[in-house]
Amino acid sequence: MFIIKYRKIFVSISAILVALSLGSLMYFGLDFGIDFRGGSLMEVTYEGVRPEQAVVEASLENLGYGGSLVQQIDTDGYSIKTRALTETERQSLVTALGTEATEKSFTSIGPSVGAELVRKSILSFILVSLGIIFFIAFSFRKVSKPVSSWKYGLIAIVALVHDVVIVSGIFALMGHFTGAEVDTLFVVAILTVLGLSVSDTIVVFDRIRENIRAGISGSFEDTVGKSLGQVFTRSVATSFTVIAVLVSLVFFGPSSTKTFSLLLVIGMFFGTYSSLFLASPLLVFIQKGQKHTKE
C-alpha cells in the first residue's frame, strides 16, 4: 500500500521531526519543577487589590528568600516558588504577604524526596521499555521469518523513543512560552504514552503476523502493505476516540490536568503516526537490509 511504497518519505519525515525535537530540547531546555528539584510552591489569591509584583518580591527578600520566583496567576493571585520551607517559615511567609492574601495551596518537597523522584522516573521508563520489548518478542516468537521476533520489539522501541522525543521537544517549546514545568504528571504522561502507543503498534504487528502465518502474499513487502491497509481504518478510529476524549479533558477538565491531557493528546497522535507510518516501513527496511547482507 502507499505507505510502504513511499516508505522512504515517511521515514525521513519522522527523522526530521525527531531532529527538530532534539533541537528544541537543547535550545529551550526543560524546566524542572519542584517535584524534582525540591523546594516550595505557594499559591495565594488576594481579596481586594493585588499588590505589585515588586512589593511581593521585596517582602521575600526581607525574609531571606531572595532569588525566589514570583509569577502572576490570573488577575488576583501569585504563585511563589522558594527553596523548601519548614512549617514555621511557611507561616512567616503567609504573614508577610499580608492579611488580604489567602493561601490557596502549598507544597513543600524536601530535596531528598525530589532526587528520589528522578531516580524512580528514569527507572520506570527503563522498566516499561524492557517490559515491552520482552512482551513483544515473546508473543511474536513464532514468527521469526523473515524478520526475527526480537527485531519487532526493537522497532517498537524505536517508534516509542521517536514518540517520546517528539513529545518532549514540543513540551520544551510549550514550556518556553507558557512556563510549563516537568513534574510528576509529565512523567506519568510520558509513561502512559509509551503504553498506549505500543498497544497501537502491536495491533499492526499482530495483523502482519497473522498474514504471514496465513501466507497470503508473495513478498514480505506485499504482506506488510496489505496488513497496513487492513488495519488502517481501525487504528485511526481507535486513536481518534481516545484523542477525542482527551481533548474533552483539555478543554473541560480540571486545570491541574490540563498540561497532562495536552501531552497525552500529542503523544497519542504521534503514537498512532509512528505505528502506521514508521514501524512498518522500518520493518520492510530491515528485511530488505537482511536480504542484502545474505547475498
Partner 1 sequence: MLIMLVGCGIGFFVYTSEHAYRTNTEGVSESVISKYPFKLGLDLSGGTHLVYRADVSLVAESEVRDSMSSLRDVIERRVNIFGVSEPVITVQNGGFSNAGEERLIVDLPGVTDVKEAVAMIGQTPLLEFRTENLGTKPQELIMNEKGEVSISLDSQFIATELTGRYLDKAILEFNSTTGEPTVSLQFDAEGSKLFEDITRANVGKTVAIFLDGEPISMPVVNEAISGGKAQITGAFTPQEAKTLVGRLNSGALPVPIELISTQTIGPSLGVEATHAGVRAALVGFLFIALFLIFWYRLPGLIGVVALSFYVATILALFKIIPVTLTAAGMAGFIISIGIAVDANILIFERIKEELRAGHSIADAIKNGFGHAWFSIRDSNFSSMITAIILFWFGTPLIQGFALTLLLGVIVSMISALSVSRLFLVALNITKTTKYTQFLFGSGFSSAKKS
Q: What is the x/- site pattern for partner 1, positions 63-92, by CB under 8 A?
A: -----------------------xx--xx-
By beta-carbon proximity to partner 1, the closer residue of 17 and 167 is 167
User: Please, what is the Cα angle at 171 between 167 and 177, to 5 degrees?
Assistant: 155
Q: How far apart (Å, rounded) are the C-alpha atoms in residues 288 and 295? A: 11
By beta-carbon proximity to partner 1, the closer residue of 170 and 246 is 246
Map grid coordinates 542484502 to a residue: 292
Give least dist CB 3 to partner 1, A: 18
Map grid coordinates 522516573 to a residue: 121
Contact 36, 114 (CB under 8 A): yes
Q: According to the binding rule CB under 8 A, does residue 109 interact with partner 1?
A: yes
By beta-carbon proximity to partner 1, the closer residue of 92 and 290 is 92
Give least dist CB 265 to partner 1, A: 11
Contact 136, 156 (CB under 8 A): yes
Give least dist CB 217 to partner 1, A: 17
Q: According to the binding rule CB under 8 A, does residue 217 interact with partner 1?
A: no
Classify residue 135 as exposed, middle or buried by CB count within 10 Å of its CB (0-12, 13-18, 19+): middle
Contact residue for partner 1 among 238, 285, 287, 288 (CB under 8 A)? 238
Q: How far apart (Å, rounded) are the C-alpha atoms in residues 151 and 147? A: 7
Contact residue for partner 1 among 196, 262, 279, 283 (CB under 8 A)? 196
Q: What is the x/- site pattern for partner 1, positions 144-183, by CB under 8 A?
A: ----------------------------------------
Bridge-based pairing state of the strands 69-73 and 39-46 = unpaired
Cell of 45: 489569591
Residue in 224, 269, 290, 201 with CA at minimum distance from that of residue 3: 224
Give least dist CB 154 to partner 1, A: 15
Contact residue for partner 1 among 6, 28, 32, 135 (CB under 8 A)? 135
Size of the site for partner 1 (CB under 8 A): 66
Give least dist CB 264 to partner 1, A: 7
Q: How far apart (Å, rounded) are the C-alpha atoms in residues 234 and 261? A: 23
Contact 201, 163 (CB under 8 A): no
Q: According to the binding rule CB under 8 A, does residue 105 interact with partner 1?
A: yes
Q: How far apart (Å, rounded) are the C-alpha atoms in residues 272 and 275? A: 5
By beta-carbon proximity to partner 1, the closer residue of 31 and 89 is 89
Cell of 235: 487504528
Q: According to the binding rule CB under 8 A, does residue 52 interact with partner 1?
A: no
Q: How far apart (Å, rounded) are the C-alpha atoms in residues 68 and 58? A: 10
Which residues here bind partner 1, judged by CB under 8 A?
86-87, 90-91, 102-110, 112-113, 115-117, 119-120, 124, 127-128, 131-132, 135, 139, 184-185, 188, 191-192, 194-196, 198-200, 202-203, 206-207, 230, 233-234, 237-238, 240-246, 248-249, 251-257, 260-261, 264
